[in-house]
């Protein structure tokens, strides 16, 4: 029996595929390469020493998706596939609603048709909007503040309704905080197309000399040094959290929701200073005006995942910085190496 991984060539998806393979799982991977590259598939195979079925397809193509369920004995699905840039979602909301919602509905309908009712959904701390307090627990009020966050919140509600309609479904919703870092090999990592939206890929590209300096979006927030605080989590810890969630999903019923963070907040300046100390690279920066939609403080309460999944993050901020830089140093142009056939 195999685990279907949608978006498995993406940043978190690729790291999760590697952990699944190394844990002895059979996987079937789907990706449309909107935010990734075929090179990732080659590297997962090389790192794991394992082969696996890969399909370059879009989840909006229901006929093709059905063929995959006909050809493979699938036991569970980890659903990463989707578009995820906050700023882009404000500019192109219809793209985000169509891609994220319709692909999830297609997936659930085909899963239901083939009797596959174990699902792990990739959600985000963005559903908490501007949190009233941190650490944030899973029962915090939900209040997405952008179309991307609203698609995640709507899909969570859709999945709860699906579970109410059919008690056989076992659905685990994982709310990620701020994933950074890369596999220790430096073979897979975060490779945003174009100018990065997120902090760490921008920092590593400043360190690599691609950009002259980092803009820090505001230093007048009510925090220790005036810059925003976030819960950065190593992407490998995040991947390992999915394996624990899979174990639970296969044996449970109903819907469970978990924060996947470290429970520790770091400010932007703390992250930059740690990166400089760990790598020896200088990160010139200038303070600019606050970014619309940013919240001052956001970090997770992770006690539920520890108690019910037997999981917690083990990699610290230094390791996150070291592994991010290792990936950047080894892949100065990301995955844009020569495109190979599958």
**CB of 198 or CB of 264, closer to ligand WQD:** 198
Cα separation, 302 vs 313, whole angstroms: 9
**CB of 64 or CB of 291, closer to ligand WQD:** 291
Cβ atoms of 172 and 256 closer than 8 Å: yes
CB of 101 to ligand WQD, least distance (A): 16
How distant, in Å, are the alpha carbons of 39, 74, 309 from that of 68?
22, 9, 30
**CB of 124 or CB of 328, closer to ligand WQD:** 124
Q: What angle do CA 77, 79, 82 make, to 5 degrees?
A: 155
**Annotated catalytic residue within 11, 96, 148, 232:** 148
Residues 6+ apart with CB under 8 A from 301: 135, 136, 137, 138, 259, 263
CB of 124 to ligand WQD, least distance (A): 3
Chain position whose Cβ is nearest to ligand WQD: 228
Residues in the site for ligand WQD, rule: CB under 6 A? 84, 86, 124, 126, 176, 178, 197-199, 202, 214-217, 228, 230, 268, 291, 294
CB of 200 to ligand WQD, least distance (A): 7
Q: What is the DSSP letter of 267?
A: E
The candidate with the shortest Cα–Cα distance to 330, out of 200, 180, 183, is: 183
How distant, in Å, are the alpha carbons of 22, 56, 75 from that of 26?
10, 18, 10
CB of 93 to ligand WQD, least distance (A): 15
**CB of 25 or CB of 144, closer to ligand WQD:** 144
Preceding peptide of 135 cis, ω within 30°: yes
Residue in the block written with tokens 């792990």: 120
At 98 the three-state DSSP class reads helix
CB of 129 to ligand WQD, least distance (A): 10
**CB of 215 or CB of 276, closer to ligand WQD:** 215
Residue 148 annotated in active site: yes
**Catalytic residue annotation:** 148
């Amino acid at each position: 029996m195999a685990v279907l991984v949608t978006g498995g060539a993406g940043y978190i998806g690729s790291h999760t595929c590697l952990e699944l393979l190394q844990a002895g799982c059979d996987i079937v991977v789907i990706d449309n390469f909107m935010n990734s590259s075929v090179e990732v598939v080659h590297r997962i195979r090389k790192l794991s020493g394992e082969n696996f079925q890969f399909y370059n397809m879009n989840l909006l193509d229901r006929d093709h998706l059905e063929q995959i369920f006909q050809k493979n004995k699938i036991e569970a699905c980890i659903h990463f596939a989707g578009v995820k840039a906050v700023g882009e979602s404000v500019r192109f909301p219809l793209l985000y609603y169509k891609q994220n919602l319709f692909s999830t509905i297609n997936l659930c309908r085909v899963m239901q048709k083939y009797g596959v009712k174990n699902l792990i959904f990739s959600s985000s701390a963005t559903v908490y909007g501007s949190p009233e307090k941190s650490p944030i627990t899973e029962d915090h009020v939900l209040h997405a503040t952008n179309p991307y966050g609203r698609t995640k919140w709507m899909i969570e509600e859709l999945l709860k309704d699906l579970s109410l309609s059919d008690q056989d479904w076992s659905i685990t919703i994982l709310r990620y905080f701020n994933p950074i870092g890369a596999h220790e090999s430096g073979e897979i990592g975060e490779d945003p197309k174009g100018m990065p939206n997120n902090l760490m890929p921008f920092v590593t590209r400043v360190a690599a000399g691609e950009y002259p300096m980092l803009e820090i979006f505001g230093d007048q927030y009510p925090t220790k040094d005036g810059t925003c605080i976030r819960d950065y989590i190593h992407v490998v810890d995040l991947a390992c959290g999915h394996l624990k969630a899979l174990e639970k999903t296969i044996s449970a019923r109903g819907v469970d929701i978990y924060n996947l963070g470290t429970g520790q907040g770091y400010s932007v300046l703390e992250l930059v200073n740690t990166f400089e100390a760990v790598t020896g690279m200088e990160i010139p920066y200038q303070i600019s005006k606050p970014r619309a939609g940013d919240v001052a403080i956001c970090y997770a309460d992770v006690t539920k995942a520890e108690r019910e999944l037997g999981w917690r993050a083990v990699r610290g901020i230094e390791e996150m910085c070291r592994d991010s830089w290792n990936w950047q140093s080894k892949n100065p142009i990301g995955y844009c190496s020569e495109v190979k056939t599958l």
